[in-house]
Amino acid sequence: MTSDEMVWDLSQLVEKTDPPSIQKKLVSMVDEANRIRNMYHDKIKDLNTKELLKLLERKDEFILEFEGVNMYCLLMYSADSTDNVAKQLNDAVRKASMKARQATAFIDIELGKLLAANPSMVKDPALAEYEHHLERILRKAPHMLSETEERLIIMKDRNGISAWQMFQGDWLSTRTFDIEIEGETRTLPYGKIISLYQSPDRDLRRLANQTVYKDLGKDEIVWATAIRSVCKDHMQMCELRSYATPMTQSLIDNDLEQKTIDSLIKTIEKNVGLYQRYLHLKAQLMGLDKLANYDLVAPLPNAQQMDYTWEEGRKEIEAAYTQFDVEIGRWVSEMFEKRHIDGEVRKGKRSGAFCASWLAGKSAYILQSFNGKMGDIYTQAHELGHAIHAYLGSRAQKPSNYEVSSCIAETGSIFGELLLTERLLSEAEEKEKKQAILAWILDEFGMAAFQVSARVFFEQSMYDAIKQGDFLDGETVAELWVAARNRIYGDSVDWLDVMKWEWTMKPHYYIANYRFYNYPYVFAQLFVFALYRLYKEQGDEFISKLKRLLAAGSSKSPHQLATELNYDITDETFWEKGMKQAKEFIDMLEETI
């Protein structure tokens, strides 16, 4: 399946597309970064309000001026990494942006010091547009060390704690697994064997899980040493940077308060029964008494193949968004008309999907490999939701106010998936189709809201154990993982014994300075289910509220954004709205049985 319409047009991002012109533009980017450095380095501490405003505006202009050329090079490479020009430009843009970043890295550090010394500046009316941006910098300031220390940490981390992450990734990707498929023993790398987890053949799914985790468990000493080192390093850094808890740093990065996460997690714990009810229904649909771990995200056995051409998929998605709001529907169409979506399947193309905001063009670009399956149109609807977020945000905000916290960044995208669900359900006549759609959306909800919560419990329990003086060897970490997992699943799922090694393969646990990556997924999922519930309750009145929320970008905190909807996200009442929506989908599924 391919046509010109499925290939994006990147030429809109730049004035000239010939490589020498692109290179020239990259050189001028580094020059401008150095000019900013020469003008401001070591001088930010003395700026008055007016001068500070000038600096902030210049920083934003800098981003807008060179955003297109950066995107052009990076997107071209992600679309085809075998293309020689793309390779050269990718290399050039990485070098240039590293130089530009190095030249301007002092700005936030010096800004933090300026604001810490003059906190009232944050509230100065002349800086009103940047108020929340400055609040976020001020919140980070007390945890920053001196410039020399910060540089030393970056330098030492590269071959220190960050090396564990690389080691875990390299070790995992170079493992091979022997598995018998249709009477023949095959040796598969990790990246290949995991695709068998989705196989319609239940025995094969079981065997793939059994094989992978049994083998990964044999290297427990490797994984445990790595995860223990990353956790211990983090606890030392928390002490050095005066973070109150191991979660504090991520709360600051995500623009949240502890109370919010406490109420979110409490809501999850109160509702594990609801998720378990779905898992029982899914078992019933699969003709089983109980699901095993390798059935959790498996396709339903009676699921009808739902295939779409590019045009058919486009029609469904445009209709889903237009039914919600005509302006949004028009922007979705524009993404297709202007050829901002790359759907063609080709060699050398990056796997997965993403949406890159193009603030200067008040638009976005999407990459995916479109094979016409139901999952592909869900992916497209999801990425188009990100694009709508960028359409609204870039029209209302400067780049400094469009650094959206990962908790809010998925609002447009998950909401779009729900709009598509509504549309597909309204068209589905056979019950098998309805079941496939509902299972799709509930599997995703279950994984993001509940399964990921187990990972939050797990991560927290490792820090608690270290604090208590426990030594995290492989078996101890495995026990912590099983305990965390059971808090979510109870006895609703049968686990293979080797699944106690599930934590070994998750790259996020090993990424230095990226602790508690997990709860934003839980937040985003339940937040959007709650918003969708409000839409169902309030009807059309809600549409402008959602558009305002998306248009706010990062100019307001998630807490403020919810307050404008008359909800308090530190209160469980709000999160229960999301559960109510999940319950409605589960009820709908039950009715089909």
Q: What's the min distance (Å) between Cβ of 524 and Zn ion?
A: 8
Contacts 24+ apart (CB under 8 A), 190-199: 190/505, 197/294, 197/297, 197/298, 198/297, 198/298, 198/299, 199/298
Nearer to Zn ion, 413 or 581 (CB): 413
Residues between 503 and 522 that touch Zn ion (CB under 5 A): none
Separation of alpha carbons 111 and 132, rounded Å: 14
The span of 57-65, 115-123, 308-316, 412-420 binding Zn ion (CB under 5 A) equals: 412-420
The answer to whether residue 405 forms part of the interface with Zn ion (CB under 5 A) is no
Separation of alpha carbons 267 and 582, rounded Å: 13
Separation of alpha carbons 303 and 32, rounded Å: 56
The span of 208-216, 329-337, 406-414, 579-587 binding Zn ion (CB under 5 A) equals: 406-414
Q: What's the min distance (Å) between Cβ of 357 and Zn ion?
A: 12
The span of 107-115, 161-169, 276-284, 405-413 binding Zn ion (CB under 5 A) equals: 405-413
CB burial of residue 397 (10 Å; 0-12, 13-18, 19+): buried
| Phi, psi angle pair for 189, to nearest 5° | -75, 165
Nearer to Zn ion, 380 or 413 (CB): 413
The span of 154-162, 300-308, 357-365, 410-418 binding Zn ion (CB under 5 A) equals: 410-418
The span of 399-407, 413-421, 461-469, 479-487 binding Zn ion (CB under 5 A) equals: 413-421
Q: What's the min distance (Å) between Cβ of 56 and Zn ion?
A: 28
Nearer to Zn ion, 380 or 581 (CB): 380
Separation of alpha carbons 387 and 514, rounded Å: 26
Nearer to Zn ion, 365 or 503 (CB): 365
Nearer to Zn ion, 379 or 581 (CB): 379
The span of 145-153, 231-239, 409-417, 467-475 binding Zn ion (CB under 5 A) equals: 409-417
Nearby residues of 422 by Cβ (< 8 Å), 6 or more positions away: 320, 323
Nearby residues of 425 by Cβ (< 8 Å), 6 or more positions away: 434, 437, 438, 588
Q: What is the DSSP letter of 342?
A: E
Q: What's the min distance (Å) between Cβ of 561 and Zn ion?
A: 18
**Furthest C-alpha separation in the chain:** 76
Q: What's the min distance (Å) between Cβ of 410 and Zn ion?
A: 5
Which of 357, 380, 405, 413 forms a contact with Zn ion (CB under 5 A)? 413
Nearer to Zn ion, 70 or 413 (CB): 413
512-554-351 Cα angle (round to 5) = 55
Separation of alpha carbons 515 and 318, rounded Å: 38
Q: What's the min distance (Å) between Cβ of 378 and Zn ion?
A: 11
Instruction: Select the residue whose beta carbon is closest to Zn ion and give its number.
Output: 413
Nearer to Zn ion, 369 or 486 (CB): 369
Q: Which of 485, 425, 420 is nearest to 454 (CA)?
A: 485
Nearer to Zn ion, 324 or 521 (CB): 521
Q: What's the min distance (Å) between Cβ of 321 and Zn ion?
A: 16
Contact 317, 373 (CB under 8 A): no
Strand partners, 308: none
Residues between 78 and 137 that touch Zn ion (CB under 5 A): none
Separation of alpha carbons 60 and 392, rounded Å: 17
With CB under 5 A, what is the number of residues at the site for Zn ion? Answer: 1
The span of 131-139, 408-416, 452-460, 500-508 binding Zn ion (CB under 5 A) equals: 408-416
Q: What's the min distance (Å) between Cβ of 189 and Zn ion?
A: 27
Chain residues that interact with Zn ion, rule: CB under 5 A: 413
